[in-house]
Amino acid sequence: LEMPSYKLTYFDIRGLGEVARQLLHLSGTPFEDDRVHNDDWTSGAMRKESTPFGQLPVLEVDGQPMATSLAINRYLGKQFGFAGKTPFEEALVDALGDQWMDYFEEVKPFLLTSQGLWPGEVTEEQRQRAADGIAKHLPLFEQFAKDHGTFGHLVGTSLTWIDLLMTDHFRSLLAYFPDALNGYPALSGVRRVMGQHPKLREWRNAHDQPF
C-alpha cells in the first residue's frame, strides 16, 4: 500500500500544531511542514477562506483537508499507534483531550498575550484566570493519570498523543508559572519521560520555539 501524502499547515510556532508535527516525526512519516507567517494569514484572506473553518492547523491527507487540532491529533494518533491500546484507552485519551481544551481556554489569554501573539499588555485579570485554571484542572489531570496511567504516561502503559499535548504545553506554562507542577508527581513524571524520549529530543533540538 502506498503511504498517503501529508501536509500540515500551521503558524511558525509550536502552539496547536506541534503535537501533529511530533506524531508525524515519531512515526517516521515524511510530511510537508507548511509554516504560515501571521501577516500572510491576516492579510491574505484567500488563505483563510480556503480552510474548512477559517482557522489553523489544517492537515491535508492526499490533498483532503482536515481541521481542528484535536481531530488531527486523534486521527494521526490512530494511524500511527499513539491513541491507546484498546477502545477504552482511546476513549480515555479523548476525554482527557476534551477536558484539556476546557483548561486551555482558561490559560490561553494570558499565555498568548505574554508571548506577543495576542495584542495588548498582559492584565492581572488574565494572569489570575490562568492561575485559577491551573489550580482547578491540574489536580484533576494528576488524579486521572494516577487512576488510568503508569509512570510517564497519562493513559495506559504506552505513549499517546495526550502525553505529547500536555508535555508540550508544560514547556510554555512553566516559563510563567515555574512552580505549576510542584506537588504533581504523575504529571511531572510524564514531562520527564517525554523529555528523555530520543526522537522527541531530536525534533525539539531541530525546531525549538518559545511557544
List the chain pLDDT tens, one digit each, 211 residues. 688 999 999 999 999 999 999 999 999 999 999 999 877 887 766 677 888 998 999 999 999 999 999 999 999 999 999 999 999 999 999 999 999 999 999 999 999 999 888 889 999 999 999 999 999 999 999 999 999 999 999 999 999 999 999 999 999 999 999 999 999 999 999 999 999 999 999 998 888 766 6
What SS3 string covers the chain? CCCCCEEEEEECCCHHHHHHHHHHHHCCCCCEEEEECHHHHHHCHHHHHCCCCCCCCEEEECCEEEECHHHHHHHHHHHHCCCCCCHHHHHHHHHHHHHHHHHHHHHHHHHHHHCCCCCCCCCHHHHHHHHHHHHHHHHHHHHHHHHHEECCECCECCCCHHHHHHHHHHHHHHHHCCCCCCCCHHHHHHHHHHHCCHHHHHHHHHCCCCC
